[in-house]
Amino acid sequence: MHTTLPSRRLAALLAACVVAWACGASEATPTARESPAPSAGAVGTPVRTATPAGSVATPSSSPAPPERERTFELAEYQVPRGSGPHDVAPAADGGVWYTGQRNGTLGHLDPATGEVREIELGRGSAPHGVIVGPDGAPWITDGGLNAIVRVDPSNDRVEVYPLPDRHRGANLNTATFDGDGVLWFTGQTGVYGRLDPDEGRVETYDAPRGRGPYGIATTPAGDVWYASLAGSHIARIDRASGEATVVRPPTEDQGARRVWSDSMGRLWVAEWNAGQVAMHDPVSGDWREWPLPGNGAQAYAVFVDDHDDVWLTDFGANAIVRFDPTSETFESLELPSAGAAVRQLFGRPGEVWGAESAVDRLVVVRSGS
């Protein structure tokens, strides 16, 4: 079924906070807040915070080399009230796509102007994930429609690819393109699947351990791995047969939520239940795990940037956390908006983007040398 729906434009002023801090190997310093954040949904109200950053070292068998000098700046952007932004994906035009899970839209933010454009995806839509495909278009996993959705960025035309009837109510989560340009996706009810854009046909598979498939990622070699939150494992998909092979992290019941690959093909896993980040090397089979700093950590999102630094979101600390694998140190940035709930991270060189789903804002961390 292919559906074309109208779009509407909404001018949204920038509600931003700018935070600059430098990396270091010192102990964390206290947070200094200059003014309280406005209530969720306030448009055009500036929010300023000062959050000095610190690094927390993790045990290592050898002295860590000097940390690379990088500086960072954080900013928030308001999006329409009630949209409930869930996932983000940097757009080819320099903007940012995001899924409006609560109002059934795909949004586009222009960071230069603060302008937001919303595209209605259809009655019953509840989009979860969004990625940009090799064609430059946003591709969406829509749990409400139980379908993969593509939006043409040139005219906002919406194309809907429903899942087979045997997997109704898949609770679609996240998607990734493999090395051959085929889209793979997950569904938390125990489903994963594929869509070849050239064929336009969706195929689905039963996950080997049932419920839980959540985050999914592709390595530089084109291999596809997903993380199972309920199953507390990761799994590699054989792209030829569709069969998934389960690989378990060392910590039991760790709640592997999202997964990302670095430039060397190593897999980084956000362990929600354990409050840890894990690294798995598929070549050697080795695992390593690091607990996030502080008490009550909840590692939700994970993303690896162009420097191979690992970024996570910590629900327990309401923070975005950077992990440097070279020095094995963490650096935590408190989010300006209380209870922001950043569920996913994505980026491009020099930028890491997230959606603050509880307060209807997008957040970006920009880096420099």
Domain residue ranges in the chain: 7-368
Please tell me which residue, 359 or 19, carries the higher pLDDT value: 359
Residue 42: pLDDT over 60: no
If you count them, how many residues does the chain have?
369
Confidence bin at 27 (pLDDT 50/70/90): very low
CA nearest 337: which of 79, 16, 110? 16
Percent of the chain's residues with pLDDT above 70: 81
pLDDT digits (tens, 9 = 90+) for 229-279: 999 999 999 999 999 999 999 999 999 999 999 999 999 999 999 999 999
Average pLDDT of the segment spanning 64-79 = 78
Question: What dihedral angle (degrees, nearest 10) is formed by the CA atoms of 56, 59, 62, 67?
Answer: -10
Residue 335: pLDDT over 60: yes
Q: What is the mean pLDDT of the chain?
A: 85
Strand segments (E) across 38-104: 55-57, 71-78, 85-90, 96-100
CA nearest 248: which of 227, 262, 265? 227
Confidence bin at 348 (pLDDT 50/70/90): very high
pLDDT digits (tens, 9 = 90+) for 157-197: 999 999 999 999 999 999 999 999 999 999 999 999 999 99
Please tell me which residue, 8 or 186, carries the higher pLDDT value: 186
Residue 35: pLDDT over 80: no
Average pLDDT of the segment spanning 66-79 = 82
Tokens 């329409």 sit on residue: 80
pLDDT value of residue 118: 98
Confidence bin at 368 (pLDDT 50/70/90): confident
pLDDT value of residue 369: 62
pLDDT value of residue 58: 35
Token representation of residue 200: 């336009």
pLDDT value of residue 68: 58
pLDDT value of residue 71: 87
Residue 204 CB neighbours (<10 A): 17
Tokens 């928030």 sit on residue: 76
> Distance between CA 98 and CA 94 in Å, rounded?
13
Question: Is the overall model pTM greater than 0.85, yes or no?
Answer: no
Confidence bin at 51 (pLDDT 50/70/90): very low
Confidence bin at 5 (pLDDT 50/70/90): very low
Q: Residue 352 in 3-state DSSP? A: strand
Chain-centroid distance, C-alpha 267: 15
> Distance between CA 276 and CA 254 in Å, rounded?
8
Tokens 């992990």 sit on residue: 323
Residue 224: pLDDT over 70: yes
Residue 223: pLDDT over 50: yes
pLDDT digits (tens, 9 = 90+) for 134-157: 999 999 999 999 999 999 999 999
Instruction: Tell me the CATH architecture of domain 7-368.
Output: 7 Propeller (2.130)
